[in-house]
Amino acid sequence: MKKSQMPRRQFLKIGGAVLATIPITIVSGRTDAATNAALRTALKYQGKPEGDKNCANCMQFVPGASATAMGGCKVIPGDTEISPQGYCSVWAKKV
Could you tell me which of 70, 92, 72 has the C-alpha nearest to residue 83? 70
Query: What one-character-per-residue DSSP string does 34-78 give?
Result: ---HHHHHHTT-BSS-BTTB-GGGBTTEE--SSTTS-BEESSSTT
Q: Which amino acid is at 5?
A: Q
Q: Is the pTM of this model over 0.75?
A: no
Residue 9: the pLDDT is 81
**What is the rounded distance in angstroms from the CA atom of residue 79 to the CA atom of residue 51?**
23
pLDDT digits (tens, 9 = 90+) for 22-79: 666 555 555 556 888 889 999 999 999 999 999 999 999 999 999 999 999 999 988 9
